């Protein structure tokens, strides 16, 4: 009996605790993005329901509503794990949240690096996506609005050139095409000046039959790929700031979740330590 050691003064649990600041900061951080995810999913579902189902299915891969729903659902699941994990101090959910954020961050970083290194291949992929979108221009009103917005903002027409619109069945120049828009381009390709009292909404009619110089008097003849590349080069600082703005919340979430996980683990270990010493205080 005399050889047994008395426990050190004070209980071990006095030296460790789960910080309520970290816990609730992580909870509210995730709760905010959880609400945003719900809104994104709701908008995506509403947009899909408002479309003609058969026509929308034909361009499912380029449907902005589907993309919005996919991102929203993914974001919802991840932030749900973060919310419940932080509130219930659940290590499993917190680790899942931390791992998912880390994977997404690494994928974004990898995509940025590969896009910079293999810029030619990235350009080809973007060209393929734009051509696919042009093909389904009339099939999806959301896609149509997105393309029109891009052509107006960048002052461009088509992917590489304005004749890319022949890839669309309505604008195709084939003599067998019965469409009234045969060999034309959308109105968003037109050079619209504000000084005109009456805007000619049919200014794109038959533009694909004209050569590059003559068509340039009425429409934007440069493709959107070159315009997009020029815009990226002239706005690298802004794009870098946006990328940093997207990365910071992810890194903050990873850091807070890892801190909370470590605190919970320490608390569990100390509770087990105290239970062992209560059962045998002289061990």
Structure confidence by residue, pLDDT tens digits, 65-81: 778 888 899 999 999 99
Which of these ranges, 37-41, 122-126, 193-197, 245-249, has the smallest mean pLDDT? 193-197
Number of domains forming the structure of the chain:
2
Q: What residue spans of 89-185 are helical by DSSP H?
A: 91-117, 119-135, 141-154
CA–CA–CA angle 165, 158, 57 (5° rounding): 65
In whole angstroms, how far apart are CA 103 and each of 18, 44, 170, 171, 221? 26, 25, 42, 43, 41
Judge whether 252 lies within some domain.
Answer: yes
Same-domain pairing of 108 and 151? no
Confidence at residue 281, expressed as pLDDT on a 0 to 100 scale? 57
Judge whether 1 lies within some domain.
Answer: no
Please classify residue 77 by burial: count the beta carbons closer than 10 Å to its beta carbon, then call 0-12 exposed, 13-18 middle and 19+ buried.
Answer: middle
Same-domain pairing of 191 and 258? no
| Cβ atoms within 10 Å of 28's Cβ, excluding its own | 11
**How much is the average pLDDT of 187-213?**
82
Same-domain pairing of 90 and 77? yes
Same-domain pairing of 248 and 274? yes
- The per-residue pLDDT for range 110-127, each reduced to its tens digit, is 888 887 787 778 788 888
| C-alpha radius of gyration, the chain, whole number | 29
Structure tokens at 140: 């999806």
Same-domain pairing of 245 and 221? no
Judge whether 130 lies within some domain.
Answer: no
Distance of alpha carbon 88 from alpha carbon 92, whole angstroms: 11
Judge whether 133 lies within some domain.
Answer: no
Judge whether 188 lies within some domain.
Answer: yes
**How much is the average pLDDT of 132-142?**
85
- Evaluated on CA atoms 114, 119, 120, 122, the torsion sign reads positive
Same-domain pairing of 230 and 242? no
Which of these ranges, 125-129, 216-220, 277-281, has the smallest mean pLDDT? 277-281
Same-domain pairing of 23 and 105? yes
DSSP 205: T
Same-domain pairing of 245 and 266? yes
Confidence at residue 94, expressed as pLDDT on a 0 to 100 scale? 93
Residue 35 has pLDDT above 90, yes or no: yes
- Name the band, by pLDDT with cuts 50, 70 and 90, for residue 2: very low
Same-domain pairing of 112 and 243? yes
Considering the chain, what is the average pLDDT of its residues?
Answer: 82
Confidence at residue 16, expressed as pLDDT on a 0 to 100 scale? 55
Q: Which domain holds residue 184?
A: 146-234
Judge whether 154 lies within some domain.
Answer: yes
Which of these ranges, 77-86, 175-184, 245-254, 273-282, has the smallest mean pLDDT? 273-282
In this structure, the chain runs to a length of 283
Instruction: Give the residue from 245, 225, 222 showing the smallest Cα distance to 162.
Output: 222
Instruction: Map tokens 């000619």 to a residue.
Output: 200
Residues facing residue 161 across a β-bridge: 222
pLDDT exceeding 70 applies to what percent of the chain? 86
Confidence at residue 55, expressed as pLDDT on a 0 to 100 scale? 47
Confidence at residue 63, expressed as pLDDT on a 0 to 100 scale? 66
Same-domain pairing of 151 and 206? yes
Instruction: Give the residue from 160, 162, 155, 148 showing the smallest Cα distance to 225.
Output: 160
Judge whether 124 lies within some domain.
Answer: no
The residue out of 195, 215, 234 marking a domain boundary is 234
Residue 157 has pLDDT above 70, yes or no: yes
Same-domain pairing of 226 and 250? no
Residue 1 has pLDDT above 70, yes or no: no
Judge whether 39 lies within some domain.
Answer: yes
Structure tokens at 270: 């100390």
Same-domain pairing of 113 and 160? no
- Name the band, by pLDDT with cuts 50, 70 and 90, for residue 9: very low
């Amino acid at each position: 009996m005399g050889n047994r050691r008395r426990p050190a003064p004070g209980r071990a649990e006095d030296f460790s605790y789960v910080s309520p600041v970290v816990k609730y900061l992580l909870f509210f951080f995730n709760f905010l993005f959880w609400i945003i995810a719900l809104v994104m999913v709701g908008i995506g579902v509403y947009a899909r329901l408002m479309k003609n189902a058969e026509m929308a299915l034909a361009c499912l891969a380029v449907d902005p509503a589907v993309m919005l729903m996919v991102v929203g659902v993914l974001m919802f699941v991840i932030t749900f794990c973060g919310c419940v994990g932080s509130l219930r101090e659940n290590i499993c959910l917190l680790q899942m949240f931390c791992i998912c954020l880390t994977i997404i961050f690494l994928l974004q970083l990898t995509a940025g690096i590969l896009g910079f290194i293999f810029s030619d291949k990235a350009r080809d992929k973007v060209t393929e996506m734009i051509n696919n979108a042009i093909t389904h221009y009339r099939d999806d009103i959301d896609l149509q609005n997105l393309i029109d917005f891009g052509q107006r903002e960048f002052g461009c027409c088509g992917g590489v050139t304005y004749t890319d619109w022949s890839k669309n069945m309505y604008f195709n120049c084939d003599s067998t095409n019965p469409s009234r828009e045969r060999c034309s381009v959308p109105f968003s390709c037109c050079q619209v000046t504000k000084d005109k009292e009456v805007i000619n909404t049919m200014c794109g009619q038959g533009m694909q039959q004209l050569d590059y110089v003559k068509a340039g008097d009425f429409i934007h003849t440069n493709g959107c790929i070159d315009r997009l590349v020029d815009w990226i080069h002239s706005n690298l600082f802004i794009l870098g700031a946006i990328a940093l703005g997207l990365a910071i919340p992810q890194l903050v979430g990873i850091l807070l979740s890892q801190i909370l996980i470590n605190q919970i683990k320490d608390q569990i270990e100390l509770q087990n330590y105290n239970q062992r010493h209560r059962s045998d205080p002289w061990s």
